[in-house]
Amino acid sequence: MAQSPDFRTCPSTGLRIHRSAETLIKANAVVAVVFLAVGGLFGLAVALTRWPAVHLLPADMFYLALTAHGLDVLLVWIIFFEIAVLYFASAIVLNSRLAMPRVAWTAFALMLIGAVITNVAVLQGGSSVMFTSYVPMRADPNFYLGLILFAVGALIACAIFFGTLVIAKEEKTYEGSIPLVTFGALTAAIIAVFTLASGAIILIPTWLWSMDIIKHIDPLMYKTVWWAMGHSSQQINVSAHVAIWYAIAAIVLGAKPISEKVSRMAFLMYILFLQLASAHHMLVEPGISSEWKIFNTSYAMYLAVLGSMIHGMTVPGSIEAAQRAKGYTNGLFEWLRKAPWSNPAFSGMFLSLLMFGFLGGISGVVLGTEQINIIMHNTIYVPGHFHATVVAGTTLAFMAVTYLLVPMIFQRELILKKWAMVQPYLFGIGVAGISVFMMGAGTLGVARRHWDITFADATLSFEYPPAAFLMMGLNGMSAVLAALGGLIYIVVVVGSILFGKRIETKAAADGEPAPVVAAVGKYGSAGTLAIPGTVALVAVFFTAFVLYYFVNWKYLSEVWPLQ
Amino acid sequence: MGLYPPPQKIWWREPIAKTEIVWIVIAFIWGLAMFFMMIYWHAVGEQNLSNEAYRVTPEAFYEKASALAEAHQVGEEAGTPVVHPPPGSDIYLVGRLWSWWPIFELEKDETYRLHISAMDWQHGFSLQPVNINLQIHPGYDFVVTVTPDRAGEYGIVCNEFCGIGHHTMIGKMYVVE
């Protein structure tokens, strides 16, 4: 058979890998990791400043670092990595070539240039407006310009993903429907289009306003549209990291979904309802009706939450089914005890699943309840919640999948395997601490984005309870742990890419069909296999959810009557 | 396996496992319960925000606030007037770089129509330690009817970032028997 220079065959998975797609995945992933390192460092500085006993940075540097932290990790790291995931889930998973690699490089360049422009604007000091840049507070025009370029680049990258799906279908590189992982990535890409378009719709006029070309931007309108980007972009993350959960479960354990239909319906609910989440940030704003708030904040009666609750059962359920089929059938939890906990891809994925559900998911629904938001809005409870979703959920899942991408895409063996083994636990425990202690401090009223909760420089005074200071200290210590975990991740990944042992590979033979890896067997098809361990886990989750939900109504009922 | 196309081409006809169906039904009902809980609280709960707000210019709002403060001032603290408005009245709180103005002295278990607006940028009204948090926009007069039910001294922290002096933006409120 003739050798095709455009493709090679991955020796461990048998996937046909398109070389241009591979190079683009590498480039996007590397830039993502660089920005994770930069943004993580700013995050550590922020946490150390908010640790009352340390109080590292002066006020102006603190607000600058906080702006840069939000920008670099929430936007740049995550979107760059997501683009890598989109290219992987289309070209690699479908054995296809990538659509228009040159245009994909243009997208990459636009995103990189945009990210750099905005970072320079922030570091120059004139744009410490926080990631959210609420008007009428004004940043340097370049702050908005960089974000617009970044969004346009990311939109083009989404178009490349859609184009690749079309090519794969036309060229019949797979049979039947697209795999579930690609379906999840498609969900992420569709939400990304909505998100990035919303970003452009609000940032372009704001950019013109910052140059005095437009006179007035209504602050309430700004917030509503800005959060259609800001919150929906977190829904891209959810779709992407759930797709990665399924992918890791499939690659490491050969797990197959309990039911394709149910898992796909759950993704579909994300597409249909997640975009309403702008309302989560508008619950205590003037001039918005309760009807609008209730319908939107609940994603139309919690239908998107239903999607996540379904994945919360189907992901561990598919793992349990796979493990039981391998003979781990004793008791409720042998399948879980004997899971590959020393494989960082698996441990990172499972910790991400647990923490996203228990910490991020539950707190998110409570925080997004119209009236309960009164006792939480803009307190440090809010960053407590989203560090559980975006860091423990998304970032940890992305880290976990990197341990698979390095051998598969970069063709290098991991170095420092022992360090890699510990990394998800260290990072996971650190982030769990960050989010729990910030939520704790938030229920005591501590404000987010605040340099000095002792109010030493104020003319009037107020004292938070001592427990609040304790929580902020514990938050700082947890941040140090998480930063250590982040550092190990970067050392292992960058070290492996540069110095890891090269994995030999061959060019793919023309027309050779993708071999089917590891026969999966017949288990798991609907109704044939019980998953009692998962049922127990879900029952614990549901009980925690209901209790925590009503505890917060109880807290609310104790504050002053308001109408 | 999630990385391959579904083995059965017509996967949408596969029956769904019973465990999944049961969980979907429970989760769906729980979603409805949480949805109706918010509506139920509007009917019976005591902590709901009004849907009342007005467009207002900072100048017009400030004028009302200073007229009220002048009429009912009972003291002064660190240069800020302490104002004791009549129970049941409309009271006006100004958020600006970087203070909450004036200081109100309210009577316990009396009801007030509290108007809040920002003069410049957005601010976060965070009443502590009772932990009531509202977002304050320039150009919008936010009306909340409050009934303080515990006497004491309260702090008003700004919890929306408003520039370099943000952490010095502190206000006060007293509730007296």
Give the pairing type, strands B80-83 and A506-509.
unpaired
- Domain assignment present for B1: no
| Continuous H helices in chain B | 18-44, 58-72
Beta strands in B64-121 (DSSP E): 73-77, 80-83, 90-96, 99-101, 103-107, 112-118
Point out the residue among A220, A449, A458 whose CB comes nearest to the CB of B161: A449
Average pLDDT score over residue span A352-373: 96
- Per CB-CB distance under 8 Å, the chain B contacts of A465 are 129
Task: Name which of B138, B54, B163 is nearest A216 in CA terms.
Answer: B138
- Per CB-CB distance under 8 Å, the chain B contacts of A128 are 164
Q: Is the torsion defined by CA of A4, A8, A14, A16 positive or negative?
A: negative
| Residues B144 and B172 grouped into a single domain | yes
- Per CB-CB distance under 8 Å, the chain B contacts of A439 are none
Q: What per-residue confidence (pLDDT) applies to A507?
A: 65
What's the whole-number average pLDDT of chain A? 92
From residue A488, how far is each of A75, A251, A400, A418, A518 by CA, in Å?
22, 23, 13, 11, 32
> What residues contact A558, with CB distance under 8 A and at least 6 apart?
none
Point out the residue among A247, A254, A262 whose CB comes nearest to the CB of B16: A262
Q: What per-residue confidence (pLDDT) applies to B7?
A: 84
B158, β-bridge pairs: B125
Q: What per-residue confidence (pLDDT) applies to A508?
A: 58
| Residues B90 and B159 grouped into a single domain | yes
Nearest CA in chain A to B33: A301
Would you state the structure tokens that stand for residue A85, as one six-digit string?
Answer: 């995931």
% pLDDT > 90, chain A: 88
The residue range of the domain holding B113 is 53-176
- How far apart (Å, rounded) are the C-alpha atoms in residues A229 and A244? 22
> What residues contact B22, with CB distance under 8 A and at least 6 apart?
none
Neighbour-count burial for A15-43, b at 16+ CB within 10 Å, e otherwise: bbbbbbbbbbbbbbbbbbbbbbbbbbbbb
> Does residue B54 sit in helix, strand or coil?
strand
Neighbour-count burial for B125-154, b at 16+ CB within 10 Å, e otherwise: bbbbbbbbbbbbbbbbbbbbbbebeeeeeb
Backbone angles phi, psi at A525, to 5 degrees: -65, 145
Residues 66-95 of B with CB under 8 A from A: 77-80
- Give the closest-approach CA distance of B71 to chain A in angstroms: 23
Show me where the domains of chain A are located: 18-253
Whether the Cβ atoms of residue A280 and residue A384 lie closer than 8 Å to each other: no
Q: Per residue in A237-273, pLDDT tens?
A: 999 999 999 999 999 999 988 889 999 999 999 999 8
- Domain assignment present for B4: no
Are A462 and B172 within 8 A, CB to CB? yes
Are A378 and B139 within 8 A, CB to CB? no
Eight-class DSSP state of A144: H
Q: Is the torsion defined by CA of A415, A419, A424, A430 positive or negative?
A: negative
Residue A196 or residue A509, greater confidence: A196
- Give the closest-approach CA distance of B98 to chain A in angstroms: 9
Q: Per residue in A82-127, pLDDT tens?
A: 999 999 999 999 999 999 999 999 999 999 999 999 999 999 999 9
- How far apart (Å, rounded) are the C-alpha atoms in residues B118 and B125? 10
Whether the Cβ atoms of residue A437 and residue A475 lie closer than 8 Å to each other: yes
- How far apart (Å, rounded) are the C-alpha atoms in residues A161 and A311? 24
CATH number where B88 lies: 2.60.40.420
Whether the bond between A344 and the residue before it is cis, its omega within 30 degrees of 0, is no
| Residues B16 and B92 grouped into a single domain | no
| Residues B39 and B58 grouped into a single domain | no
> What residues contact A221, with CB distance under 8 A and at least 6 apart?
none
Say yes or no to pLDDT of A75 above 80.
yes
| Residues B28 and B75 grouped into a single domain | no
Are A298 and B38 within 8 A, CB to CB? yes
Instruction: Number of A to B CB contacts under 8 A, please give it.
Output: 302
- Per CB-CB distance under 8 Å, the chain A contacts of B142 are 286-287
Whether the Cβ atoms of residue A270 and residue A188 lie closer than 8 Å to each other: no
| Residues B20 and B66 grouped into a single domain | no
Q: Per residue in A394-436, pLDDT tens?
A: 999 999 999 999 999 999 999 999 999 999 999 999 999 999 9
From residue B79, how far is each of B97, B102, B103 by CA, in Å?
15, 10, 10
Say yes or no to pLDDT of A11 above 90.
no
- Give the closest-approach CA distance of A257 to chain B in angstroms: 6
ipTM: 0.96
Would you state the structure tokens that stand for residue B170, as one six-digit string?
Answer: 């502190």
Say yes or no to pLDDT of A142 above 70.
yes
- Give the closest-approach CA distance of A196 to chain B in angstroms: 25
- Domain assignment present for B144: yes
Residue/partner pairs of A218-224 with CB below 8 Å, 24 or more apart: A218/B139, A219/A134, A219/A135, A219/A136, A219/B122, A219/B137, A219/B138, A219/B139, A220/A285, A220/A286, A220/A287, A220/A288, A220/B137, A220/B140, A222/A134, A222/A135, A223/A134, A223/A281, A223/A282, A223/A285, A224/A278, A224/A282
Q: What per-residue confidence (pLDDT) applies to B1?
A: 65
Q: What per-residue confidence (pLDDT) applies to A509?
A: 52
- Per CB-CB distance under 8 Å, the chain B contacts of A290 are 42, 48-49, 51
- Per CB-CB distance under 8 Å, the chain A contacts of B132 are 374-375, 559-560, 562
Q: What per-residue confidence (pLDDT) applies to A284?
A: 96
- Domain assignment present for B127: yes
**pTM, full prediction:** 0.94
A446 pLDDT band (50/70/90 cuts)? very high
Asked if B157 reaches chain A (Cβ–Cβ under 8 Å), the answer is: yes
- Domain assignment present for B5: no
Q: What per-residue confidence (pLDDT) applies to A523?
A: 37
A14 pLDDT band (50/70/90 cuts)? confident
Are A560 and B132 within 8 A, CB to CB? yes
Say yes or no to pLDDT of A511 above 80.
no
| Residues B131 and B167 grouped into a single domain | yes
- Per CB-CB distance under 8 Å, the chain A contacts of B159 are 377-379, 447-450
- Per CB-CB distance under 8 Å, the chain B contacts of A452 are 167
- Per CB-CB distance under 8 Å, the chain A contacts of B147 are 560-562
Question: A18-253 falls under which CATH superfamily?
Answer: Cytochrome c oxidase-like, subunit I domain (1.20.210.10)
Return the CA Rg of chain B: 24
Average pLDDT score over residue span A383-391: 97
> What residues contact A14, with CB distance under 8 A and at least 6 apart?
A514, A515, A516, A517
Q: What per-residue confidence (pLDDT) applies to A9?
A: 83
B73 torsion bin: left (phi>0), alpha (psi -120 to 50), beta (else): beta
Backbone angles phi, psi at A345, to 5 degrees: -65, -45
- Per CB-CB distance under 8 Å, the chain B contacts of A59 are 164, 167
- Give the closest-approach CA distance of A124 to chain B in angstroms: 15
- Give the closest-approach CA distance of A68 to chain B in angstroms: 15
- Per CB-CB distance under 8 Å, the chain B contacts of A185 are none
**DSSP track, A77-126:** IHHHHHHHHHHIIIIITTT-PPS-HHHHHHHHHHHHHHHHHHHHHHHTTT
- Judged by average pLDDT, the poorest of A309-313, A459-463, A513-517, B52-56 is A513-517
| Residues B30 and B89 grouped into a single domain | no
Task: Name which of A260, A346, A274 is nearest A306 in CA terms.
Answer: A274
Give the number of other CB atoms < 10 A from CB of residue B106.
23
DSSP H/E element including A555: helix A532-557
Q: Per residue in A232-246, pLDDT tens?
A: 888 899 999 999 999
Average pLDDT score over residue span A367-382: 97
Would you state the structure tokens that stand for residue A328, as one six-digit string?
Answer: 């781990």
Average pLDDT score over residue span A142-160: 96
- Per CB-CB distance under 8 Å, the chain A contacts of B102 are none
Eight-class DSSP state of A379: B
> What residues contact A384, with CB distance under 8 A and at least 6 apart?
A363, A434, A435, A436, A437, A438, A439, A440, A441, A442
* Selected residue of B24, B92, B133 to mutate for chain A interface (largest A Cβ count, 10 A): B133
Are B122 and A262 within 8 A, CB to CB? no
A8 pLDDT band (50/70/90 cuts)? confident
What's the whole-number average pLDDT of chain B? 95
Eight-class DSSP state of A562: B
Point out the residue among A129, A130, A560 whose CB comes nearest to the CB of B147: A560
- Give the closest-approach CA distance of A305 to chain B in angstroms: 8
| Residues B62 and B135 grouped into a single domain | yes
Q: How many domains does chain B have?
A: 2
Residues in chain B: 177
Whether the Cβ atoms of residue A122 and residue A60 lie closer than 8 Å to each other: no
CA trace torsion A44, A47, A49, A51 (10° rounding) = -130
Task: Name which of B151, B149, B148, B155 is nearest B173 in CA terms.
Answer: B155
Say yes or no to pLDDT of A518 above 90.
no
Say yes or no to pLDDT of B17 above 90.
no
Backbone angles phi, psi at B140, to 5 degrees: -125, 130
* Selected residue of A63, A378, A517 to mutate for chain B interface (largest B Cβ count, 10 A): A378
**DSSP track, A24-83:** HHHHHHHHHHHHHHHHHHHHHHHHHHHSTTT--S-HHHHHHHHHHHIIIIIIIIHHHHHH
A525 pLDDT band (50/70/90 cuts)? very low
| Residues B158 and B79 grouped into a single domain | yes
Asked if B59 reaches chain A (Cβ–Cβ under 8 Å), the answer is: no
- How far apart (Å, rounded) are the C-alpha atoms in residues A386 and A382? 6
| Residues B91 and B156 grouped into a single domain | yes
Whether the Cβ atoms of residue A17 and residue A7 lie closer than 8 Å to each other: yes
Whether the Cβ atoms of residue A529 and residue A26 lie closer than 8 Å to each other: no
| Residues B170 and B100 grouped into a single domain | yes
Q: What per-residue confidence (pLDDT) applies to A506?
A: 65
Residue A516 or residue A133, greater confidence: A133
Return the CA Rg of chain A: 23
SS3 labels along A286-354: CCCCHHHHHHHHCHHHHHHHHHHHHHHHHHHHHHHHHHHHCCCCCCCCHHHHCCCCCCHHHHHHHHHHH
Nearest CA in chain A to B35: A301
Whether the Cβ atoms of residue A276 and residue A305 lie closer than 8 Å to each other: no
Are B24 and A306 within 8 A, CB to CB? yes
Asked if B170 reaches chain A (Cβ–Cβ under 8 Å), the answer is: yes
